[in-house]
Amino acid sequence: MESSYRKGLERVARQMILIHRADIVIKLVLRTIVRDLKVRHAGIFIYDKKHDAYIVKMSRGNTGFKIPSGFVKIKKDNPIINYFTAKRFSFCGDFILLDNIEKLIRSPKVKKDIKAGEFLDDLQTNLDFYQARACVPGFFRKELVGVLFLGDKNNGDKFNTKDLGFLSTLASDVVMAIKNAWLFEDLSRQIEVNKRLFLQMISAFVSSIEAKDKYTRGHTERVMMYALSIAEQLKKRGELSNRNKFVDDLRVAALLHDIGKIGVPEHILNKPAALSEEERDIVREHPAIGDNILKGVDELEMVRLGVRFHHERCDGLGYPDGLHGEEIPLIASVIGLADAYDAMTSDRPYRKALSFDEAINEIKKNKGKQFDPKVVDAFLDYTQETNNKLR
Amino acid sequence: MESSYRKGLERVARQMILIHRADIVIKLVLRTIVRDLKVRHAGIFIYDKKHDAYIVKMSRGNTGFKIPSGFVKIKKDNPIINYFTAKRFSFCGDFILLDNIEKLIRSPKVKKDIKAGEFLDDLQTNLDFYQARACVPGFFRKELVGVLFLGDKNNGDKFNTKDLGFLSTLASDVVMAIKNAWLFEDLSRQIEVNKRLFLQMISAFVSSIEAKDKYTRGHTERVMMYALSIAEQLKKRGELSNRNKFVDDLRVAALLHDIGKIGVPEHILNKPAALSEEERDIVREHPAIGDNILKGVDELEMVRLGVRFHHERCDGLGYPDGLHGEEIPLIASVIGLADAYDAMTSDRPYRKALSFDEAINEIKKNKGKQFDPKVVDAFLDYTQETNNKLR
């Protein structure tokens, strides 16, 4: 009976190492303690670097008490923490039992020692506040990462040495799991930050290039937005296999689709009239130039396909390679349509923008000619779903 | 006596979770088994995703045998693996003991069952090959991640049920630690990849911008190289506090120092003659333009200082802000000197390049005027150390 709770807790202790979120590790352990050890509540004071203090996390079981909100931090000089870290008094050991503390306070030895008495009174007040009947420390190397505390057992039994030994081992396992989870959280956060930086850096470059071309300001942002919306619809239609990877690549490719324009002379980009045939040929080099710029960057194979082929056409009349139909990678078809739609609906030096309806008609007319039919369908879904709000 | 090895192994099992390199976890566990359990050798067949096979890792102790190189992989249909995964026969259980297998082979029941007999013969051959007296599986969920195997005990004793129970628990802990380490290795690898991609992407952009300016091709690469070499010397002189961060930022800032030139009209950049005062003023906007381009990218505060202030001068006569002496961030002073040295030693439309000696004299002459004295000293150290190989 007495040791029946251990198996469950040992199992939990084994599993928690693969949970890489500290808050979930804590919840899991506390709940299991409350359930298997049959205590009214259990909690942990867990060290928080940012505040240089210990945060209180609790599981209150069915009958246990709840910490009033606002009282969720204890400082490093709190006697519960100090008991394990400073060990100022000879009675400071490897665990705290409220019963022992009460006995100590009444002992003649402590009655003569004012400092000890004050410390123990303060400790008792704190234990009472958290209704903590027993506390065990969780050290990692020499650092007190957390202190596990438990309310009364439901049946009124006292904690015995075996309980405490077991809980101590558990506490160090928990602390290890939390440390492990923290490391994971840090690494994952770093990955997110790096991804964000990468996209921000590309956006910064692209805007600076776009700034040179007075006719296309804001174009890239809009193309990316349309392209991601089309991908959203392709997803709904079940046309995407590796969704997340596709969307990540599409975002980057849409941002970069016109990067090759950096290789087009400024006087051509900014010419306030229709281009000559020769000038148009130069502009038409931009997808291949873009592809070439990116060839030194690893893991952009898919992105480069989007950049290189976004001016290809279903009917093979596009550039730079004159690909046909299914030869054109989906990522390029999506960007191609988004790009064309934005071009149609923007003013150019030599023509006014088309209206929404005119542009939609143009796209429908070119389904299967210029544009991949399934991409057109996805785009139409998108305009419908947003209640034609592009209009 | 018998259980005396367990404490050490349990301690190791607890620690290994925070070792984030799978190979070290394995080495640690195998060595501890050999030492504390006193076996001739111990090993593990560990699943390798890339090869879809199990790789053999061993610790051979003082007297144990060594696997001949080349025999380091076993396939998934190897009977040692199959014993735990397929469980084709009723005798397949939670561990393998060579003694039991030998007994089984001689049993009348197996003698009648050809398939079972073949399987056991094959198993025995494999166990003999690895001199594996006992094997226990390490599962993660339903996946057999590894199989722990042990040679004979040094004192000739047989393995008993308690040994095997303990080893089974140990095997699942080991497998958990390995899984955890693999995840860490994956995340760390991803962080490295992302960092590389970030730098490659910047380089790609910078090269494409540089390609527009026919007088400065290769300039950025050289400035980065000089700047990092100066940082190396500053490090040796103890002038850098947060070394790694400084060097990381310096690398990015050196790559980006001229990014603002994208805002300078091409006809000015490519003018085959000295610039007019007005044109020079436009070129002088590039550090501020560069800073401005990067303002939308998080965590580049230090990099932006390098970009914005790399044309400031100690004597306050630089641009864009006319900072003096210590007001100029170190990162900018380093790039400033690297940039100036490369400009001096490169041909320009309106003048020939200076020789190495002329450039060094120019730099010495401008120490404390144009250049931060401690950066000049570091640069001179660098040219000395490389035996003036820049000459």
Of B198, B207, B289, the CB nearest to A194: B198
Measured CA to CA, the distance from residue B324 to residue A159 in angstroms comes to 70
Cβ proximity of A151 and A135 under 8 Å? no
Within a domain: B317: yes
pLDDT of residue A365: 97
Verify whether the Cβ–Cβ distance A17 to B196 is below 8 Å: no
Of B202, B262, B298, the CB nearest to A209: B262
Other residues' Cβ atoms within 10 Å of the Cβ of residue A111:
11
pLDDT of residue B1: 38
Within a domain: B191: no
Contacts of A211 in chain B (CB under 8 A): 263
pLDDT of residue A71: 60
Verify whether the Cβ–Cβ distance B296 to A191 is below 8 Å: no
Is A192 part of the contact surface with chain B (CB cutoff 8 Å)?
Answer: no
Residue A360 belongs to domain with CATH number? 1.10.3210.10
The answer on B179 and B30 residing in a single domain is: yes
Residue B318, classed as helix, strand or coil, is coil
Cβ proximity of A250 and A231 under 8 Å? yes
Contacts of A195 in chain B (CB under 8 A): 194
Within a domain: A154: yes
Verify whether the Cβ–Cβ distance B197 to A196 is below 8 Å: no
Is B17 part of the contact surface with chain A (CB cutoff 8 Å)?
Answer: yes
Verify whether the Cβ–Cβ distance B200 to A298 is below 8 Å: yes
Own/partner pairs, A82-88, CB within 8 angstroms, 24+ separation: A82/A119, A83/A123, A83/A135, A84/A137, A84/A139, A84/A144, A84/A147, A85/A144, A88/A119
Q: Tell me the C-alpha to C-alpha distance, in Å, between residue B107 and each of A291, B100, B117.
A: 70, 10, 10
Is A203 part of the contact surface with chain B (CB cutoff 8 Å)?
Answer: yes
Question: Tell me, what amino acid is at B107?
Answer: S
Is B251 part of the contact surface with chain A (CB cutoff 8 Å)?
Answer: no
The answer on B216 and B180 residing in a single domain is: no
> Which residues pair with residue B138 across a beta bridge?
B146
Measured CA to CA, the distance from residue A5 to residue A153 in angstroms comes to 13
The answer on B239 and B179 residing in a single domain is: no
Model confidence pLDDT, tens digit, residues B99-108: 999 999 999 9
pLDDT of residue B367: 97
pLDDT of residue A287: 96
Cβ proximity of A386 and A342 under 8 Å? no
Q: Which two tokens stand for residue A289?
A: 């130039």
Residue A71 belongs to domain with CATH number? 3.30.450.40
The answer on B291 and B157 residing in a single domain is: no
Verify whether the Cβ–Cβ distance B209 to A262 is below 8 Å: yes
Is A183 part of the contact surface with chain B (CB cutoff 8 Å)?
Answer: yes
The 3-state secondary structure of B327-377 reads: HCCHHHHHHHHHHHHHHHCCCECCECCCCHHHHHHHHHHCECCCECHHHHH
ipTM of predicted complex: 0.80
Q: Which two tokens stand for residue A8?
A: 């469950």
Measured CA to CA, the distance from residue B380 to residue B386 in angstroms comes to 10
Within a domain: A157: yes
The answer on B128 and B218 residing in a single domain is: no
Is B384 part of the contact surface with chain A (CB cutoff 8 Å)?
Answer: no
Within a domain: B350: yes
Is B358 part of the contact surface with chain A (CB cutoff 8 Å)?
Answer: no
Is A245 part of the contact surface with chain B (CB cutoff 8 Å)?
Answer: no
Q: Find residues 282-301 of chain A whose CB sits inside 8 Å of chain B.
A: 289, 293-294, 296-300
Residue B299 zone, left/alpha/beta (φ > 0; ψ -120 to 50; rest): left
Nearest CA in chain A to B209: A262
The answer on B361 and B318 residing in a single domain is: yes
CA distance A117 to chain B (A): 38
Query: Count of domains in chain B?
Result: 2
The answer on A276 and A139 residing in a single domain is: no
The last residue of a domain, from among A148, A169, A185 = A185
Contacts of B300 in chain A (CB under 8 A): 197
Of A20, A265, A297, the CB nearest to B204: A297
Is A212 part of the contact surface with chain B (CB cutoff 8 Å)?
Answer: yes
Measured CA to CA, the distance from residue B32 to residue B159 in angstroms comes to 17
Is A265 part of the contact surface with chain B (CB cutoff 8 Å)?
Answer: yes
The answer on A169 and A30 residing in a single domain is: yes
Q: Find residues 324-353 of chain A whose CB sits inside 8 Å of chain B.
A: none
CA distance B285 to chain A (A): 14
Residue A31, classed as helix, strand or coil, is helix
Domain that holds residue A229: 211-385
All residue ranges of chain B with pLDDT < 50 are 1-2, 70
DSSP one-letter string for A225-238:
HHHHHHHHHHHHTT
Nearest CA in chain B to A261: B208
The answer on A335 and A236 residing in a single domain is: yes
Determine which helix (DSSP H) or strand (DSSP E) holds A109, and give its type and residue range.
helix A108-112
Is B268 part of the contact surface with chain A (CB cutoff 8 Å)?
Answer: no
The full length of chain B comes to 391
Verify whether the Cβ–Cβ distance A18 to B176 is below 8 Å: yes
The answer on B289 and B154 residing in a single domain is: no
If 0-12 CB within 10 Å is exposed, 13-18 middle and 19+ buried, where does residue A130 land? buried
pLDDT along chain A (391 residues), means of 10: 66 77 89 88 91 87 63 87 91 92 92 92 93 93 92 91 87 89 92 92 88 78 96 94 90 94 87 89 95 92 97 96 96 98 88 92 96 97 80 62
Which is nearest to B272 in space by CA: B348, B352, B347, B353?
A: B348
pLDDT of residue A64: 65
As a dihedral over the C-alpha atoms of residue A328, residue A330, residue A333, residue A337, rounded to 10 degrees, the angle is 170
The last residue of a domain, from among A167, A185, A203 = A185
Measured CA to CA, the distance from residue A42 to residue A29 in angstroms comes to 9
Q: Tell me the C-alpha to C-alpha distance, in Å, between residue B86 and each of A248, B89, B144.
A: 40, 9, 11
Verify whether the Cβ–Cβ distance A194 to B194 is below 8 Å: yes
Contacts of A200 in chain B (CB under 8 A): 296-298
Chain mean pLDDT for chain A? 89
The answer on B110 and B71 residing in a single domain is: yes
Query: What does the buried/exposed string (b/e) look like for A85-102 if buried means 16 or more CB atoms within 10 Å of the residue's CB?
Result: beeebebbeebbbbeebe
Within a domain: A193: no
pLDDT of residue B244: 87
The last residue of a domain, from among A168, A185, A202 = A185
pLDDT of residue B71: 59
Verify whether the Cβ–Cβ distance A211 to B263 is below 8 Å: yes
Of B17, B190, B296, the CB nearest to A200: B296
Q: Which of A166, A174, A194 is the best substitution to test chain B (most B C-beta atoms within 10 A)?
A: A194
Model confidence pLDDT, tens digit, residues B113-132: 999 999 999 999 999 988 99
Verify whether the Cβ–Cβ distance A294 to B204 is below 8 Å: yes
CA distance B259 to chain A (A): 9
Of B14, B209, B300, the CB nearest to A176: B14
Verify whether the Cβ–Cβ distance B176 to A14 is below 8 Å: yes
Contacts of B197 in chain A (CB under 8 A): 198, 297-300
Verify whether the Cβ–Cβ distance A207 to B183 is below 8 Å: no
Of B17, B172, B187, the CB nearest to A187: B187
Within a domain: A54: yes
Supply φ then ψ for residue A318, to 5 degrees. -85, -170
CA distance A258 to chain B (A): 12
Cβ proximity of A14 and B173 under 8 Å? yes
Within a domain: A190: no
Other residues' Cβ atoms within 10 Å of the Cβ of residue B23:
13
The answer on B123 and B36 residing in a single domain is: yes
